[in-house]
Structure 1
Amino acid sequence: MSRRPTLVAAVTAALVLPLVAACVPNDPAQPGASAGAGVLTVTSTADACDVSAAEADSGTVRFAVTNEGDDVTEFYLLGDDGLRVISEVENVGPGLTRDLVVQVKPGTYYTACKPGMVGDGIRAEFTVNDTGVEVGPTGDTADQLAAAEASYVAYVKDQVGSLIAGTEAFAAAYTARDDETAKSLYADTRAHWERVEPVAESFGDLDPLLDLREADVEEGATWSGWHLIEKDLWQPAPDANGGVTYVPLTPEQRDAAAADLVTYTQQLVDEVNSPDFTFEAFQIANGAKELLDEVATGKVTGEEEIWSHTDLWDFQANVDGARVGYEVLADVVEAEDPELADTLATRFEEIDALLAEQGSLEAGFTYYDQLTEEQVKDLAAAVDALSEPLSRLTATVTGA
């Protein structure tokens, strides 16, 4: 299971790194009106997102995010349009603190906490003042990271190209009422999505439009995307549907769901192939960690593909995407922290070996509901073992 190096080696180019971010340990700063190169505290509750300063100087800024509410929360730094995700820290449980480190250029941003991880979040404007100091790496490291960014962008374009082709074939089968063919295409096509999902998240609403689970749909909202169709293909019995008999989508609803899936996927393709699209080194590194978080919170628990039980296909694709993210940055990691590079290589090999015991993307995997408790436990332990060193990736490659 060594497909990733071929994908990474196939692409080259050069970009510019305007900002970097990471999740690393730090000591909280005292609250104040503004921050220079220090630490800002963020306190998230059910109805508040209290940031200790509304502005900071350009360069390195640390956010120490503490969840004092009862629900899991997230913290975002958003661009000036309030949609583009600059960086985020997810799955902050009640009573926990997680840190976000960003190196930001001057400008207007927004902070946002999302208690319960739903909705638009509790937002506030955040200003970064110009210190006149260049933000980001310089010299050989900057060149290496620019090459890494170019490689990753090419990888993403390749994946979304395969995604739209597969999605169109899947949608055609579904609208033709050829459910068996649609089922056979479902997991393989979604693998291309799962490898690059952090890219979709950076474009605002595209991720929920395409990949929202029913349990996360807000009251009154319209549900769309893969999991709406998944449920219609693998129709649940009443006991798996809140005690209610599932009502299949009408032919008109099926056509609309398939059309939306293709339309939103094409929007992703258009965004990625835009001449000004970039995905910067901090986003690649943070995205690798986000993909492992996706595994931990959805795939290894069986909550992502709750009707089809194709979670291990997603699991492998997430690991693939995380590994590509690491490998394009590996030269910098090996120079800065050889021990971390060795650890990451070993952990990726271990998790791939465990997945290989259950199948492959090419031949198919064991369905999640057929796994034993011990197998799930072993997979979860492998995710945990990889997650900790992967959380140090961004800080290592950016020097934050």
Structure 2
Amino acid sequence: MRVLRSSVVAAVSAVAALTAVSGCAEKSDAEGSDAIKVTASDDKCEVSKSSFPAGHVKLAVKNKGDKVTEVYVYAPGDRIVTERENIGPGTKVEIAAEIKAGSYEIACKPGMKGDGIRQKITATGGGAPKKRDPELDKAVAEYRKYVLAQAEETIPAAQKFVDAVKKDDLDEAKKLYAPSRIGWERTEPVAESFGDIDPKVDVREDGLEKGQKWTGWHKLEKSLWDDKKITEDDKKLADQLMADLKDWQKRVGTAEITPTSMANGAKELLDEVATGKVTGEEERYSHTDLVDFHANVEGAEKSYELLKPVAAKNDAALAKELDKQFAGLKKLLDEYREGDGFKSYDTDTVGKDDRKKLSDAVNALAEPLSKLAAVVAK
């Protein structure tokens, strides 16, 4: 869910876990190379090059501000080409991406909110494109099938949830809420790449932009668990959620997917876990965070598994480390299973020590996963 949660930002900034999540531990070897240097501060977004050859592009990002920031590359219409969230003050990260010839904008978002401070950039064509490893073409094709399948599976699950809301069946709606979100959570970076769908279906109340109406899953979550009642407005919002999800289903097949966007998306999913699920902020009323957590990890692992043949060929040690960290995190998550789902993610059930273990495991995976895009781009 790509929204500002001020309490999360403050919490993440205050704990050591930010180091691994935001990329403090990432070594940016792009400095001094042909990378585009992006220097972010609380009031500026400076870019070293406004024009560069299309193809594999590296961004060497440095946050000189006092706020946690994020950096996006936008195509026309605010379609997200690549991004990195949760870049802590004083930290550096490197982002690898495939960018086609055309006009774009780089945006720095101090405080992780708003449209950001933007700079226009141009990727120039003319050169022969680098020949891609056939294994990567296969990975992209398989991932596209996966994304489409997740969207198709989400529609009937969401429809059951919506039907329960419209029938005033509070208990049934609660039961169906978390399962309706699994496909979305597995492939969230692709859905978010469109820019306009995520704010409609997955925004938190404290992530609303000025003048934005609160719609989507989390508005209904609050009604079900916090208000403990379903209103006529909720029933209308349920219909709107269904319409927005069907729009997502129709459009997801047109998403631009590349090997680097798959790798970066896997890292984004881990960032989602670190800043929303581990903290308990994502599902603050229902406490179904572990369902989302597991779906995020599943989606990240799917991208990695499809890219693994090339990643292992280019960097066997990294692939071995990723295998180890994915296995460790999944094993830890299994400790919190309950029946067909997971335990409630409240402080009585999953306390401070448990959350620290989960956070450490996420961070241990996020650090090597941040290197995957550069490895597959070799």
- TM class by shorter chain equals 0.7 to 0.9
* 2:53 paired residue among 30, 46, 57: 57
For residue 61 of structure 1, report the CA deviation from its aligned partner.
Answer: 3.3
Following the alignment from structure 2 to structure 1, what is the Cα–Cα distance between the partners of residues 92 and 137?
Answer: 32
TM value normalised by structure 1: 0.83
For residue 220 of structure 1, report the CA deviation from its aligned partner.
Answer: 2.4
Larger Rg: 1
Following the alignment from structure 1 to structure 2, what is the Cα–Cα distance between the partners of residues 133 and 154?
Answer: 28
Amino acid at match of 1:364: F
Q: Is 2:208 aligned against 1:213?
A: no
Amino acid at match of 1:343: E
TM value normalised by structure 2: 0.88
Amino acid at match of 1:345: D
For residue 131 of structure 1, report the CA deviation from its aligned partner.
Answer: 4.6
1:167 equivalent in structure 2: 158
* Aligned-residue RMSD, C-alpha: 2.0
Of the structure 1 ranges 367-376 and 290-299, higher mean CA displacement relative to structure 2 is found in 367-376
2:37 equivalent in structure 1: 41
Amino acid at match of 1:392: K
Kept after mapping to 2: 8 A contact 1:59/1:104: yes
Q: Is 2:237 aligned against 1:234?
A: no
Kept after mapping to 1: 8 A contact 2:287/2:345: yes
Q: Is 2:365 aligned against 1:390?
A: no
For residue 218 of structure 1, report the CA deviation from its aligned partner.
Answer: 2.3
Following the alignment from structure 1 to structure 2, what is the Cα–Cα distance between the partners of residues 27 and 346?
Answer: 27
Kept after mapping to 1: 8 A contact 2:72/2:83: yes
Following the alignment from structure 1 to structure 2, what is the Cα–Cα distance between the partners of residues 355 and 380?
Answer: 11
1:155 equivalent in structure 2: 146
Q: Is 2:122 aligned against 1:127?
A: yes
1:183 equivalent in structure 2: 174
Find the residue that maps to 2:226 and give its secondary structure: coil
Amino acid at match of 2:28: P
For residue 198 of structure 1, report the CA deviation from its aligned partner.
Answer: 0.6
Q: Which whole-Å deviations, capped at 9, do the CAs of 1:48-76 have from their partners, x for residues lacking one?
A: 22212221223443322222333221111
Q: Is 2:287 aligned against 1:296?
A: no
Kept after mapping to 2: 8 A contact 1:42/1:66: yes
Q: Which whole-Å deviations, capped at 9, do the CAs of 1:143-186 have from their partners, x for residues lacking one?
A: 10111111111111111111111111111111211111010011
* 1:379 paired residue among 348, 358, 371: 358
For residue 213 of structure 1, report the CA deviation from its aligned partner.
Answer: 1.2
Matched residues, number: 352
2:237 equivalent in structure 1: 257
Of the structure 1 ranges 43-52 and 180-189, higher mean CA displacement relative to structure 2 is found in 43-52
For residue 265 of structure 1, report the CA deviation from its aligned partner.
Answer: 0.6
Of the structure 1 ranges 283-292 and 332-341, higher mean CA displacement relative to structure 2 is found in 332-341
1:1-400 correspondence runs (5 A): 25-29=28-32, 38-79=34-75, 81-135=76-130, 137-138=131-132, 141=133, 143-235=134-226, 250-251=231-232, 253-273=233-253, 276-359=254-337, 362-369=340-347, 370-399=349-378
Amino acid at match of 2:231: T
Following the alignment from structure 1 to structure 2, what is the Cα–Cα distance between the partners of residues 281 and 56?
Answer: 20
1:261 to 1:338, Cα distance in 2 relative to 1, 3 A: same
For residue 46 of structure 1, report the CA deviation from its aligned partner.
Answer: 3.0
The gaps in structure 1 that reach 5 residues or longer are 1-22, 30-36, 237-245
1:224 to 1:158, Cα distance in 2 relative to 1, 3 A: same
Kept after mapping to 1: 8 A contact 2:28/2:92: no
